[in-house]
Amino acid sequence: MRIFRSRAIGAVMLAVALIATACSSGGDSRDGTTIVIGSASFGESELIAEMYAQILESDGYTVDRKFNLGSREIYAAALDAGEIHLVPEYTGSALTYLGGTASADVEATASDLRSTWAASGVTVLQAALAQDKNGFVVTRETADANGFTKVSDLAALNGAMSLGGPPECPDRPFCLIGLQDTYGLVFAEFRPLDVGGPLTVTALQEGVIDVGLLFTTDGVIAAEDFVLLEDDKGLQPAENIVPALATSIADEYGSDLTALLDALSAELTTEALTEMNRLVGYVGEDPVSVATEWLTSVGLL
* Domain closes at, from 177, 203, 228: 228
In the listed set 178, 205, 228, which residue is the last one of a domain according to the structure?
Answer: 228
- pLDDT for residue 17: 39
Does the structure show a pLDDT above 50 at 21? Answer: no
- Domain end (from 183, 209, 228): 228
Looking at residue 195, its pLDDT comes to 84
Q: What's 109's domain CATH number? A: 3.40.190.10
At residue 230, the pLDDT reads 96
- Per-residue pLDDT, averaged over 135-160, amounts to 97
Same structural domain, 125 and 138: no
- Structural domain boundaries, residue 204: 134-228
Model pTM greater than 0.85? Answer: no
Q: Which contacts (CB < 8 Å, 24+ apart) does range 231-235 have?
A: 231/133, 231/135, 231/136, 231/150, 231/151, 232/150, 232/151, 232/152, 233/151, 233/152, 233/182, 233/183, 234/104, 235/151, 235/174, 235/178, 235/179, 235/182, 235/183
pLDDT at 39 over 90: yes
| Structure confidence at residue 16 (pLDDT) | 35
Confidence band (pLDDT; 50, 70, 90) for 2? low
Confidence grade of residue 205 (pLDDT, cut at 50, 70, 90): very high
Q: What is the pLDDT of residues 174-195, one digit of tens each?
A: 999 999 999 999 999 999 999 8
Q: Is the pLDDT of residue 242 over 50?
A: yes
> Same structural domain for residues 250 and 104?
yes
- CATH at 149: 3.40.190.120
For 74, 93, 138, 180, 271, the CA distances from 203, given in Å and listed in that order, are: 26, 25, 11, 22, 26
Q: Looking at 137-141, 203-207, 224-228, 281-285, which range is the least confident one? A: 281-285
pLDDT band at residue 203, thresholds of 50, 70 and 90? very high
Residue 281 three-state SS: helix
- Has residue 2 been placed in a domain? no
Task: Confirm whether 156 is domain-assigned.
Answer: yes
pLDDT of 196 reads: 81
Residue 158 has pLDDT above 90, yes or no: yes
DSSP string, 167-235: TTGGG-TTTHHHHHHHH----SEEEE--SSSHHHHHHHHTTS-SEEEEETT-THHHHTT-EE-B-TT--
Q: Which residues pair with 230 in a beta bridge?
A: 150
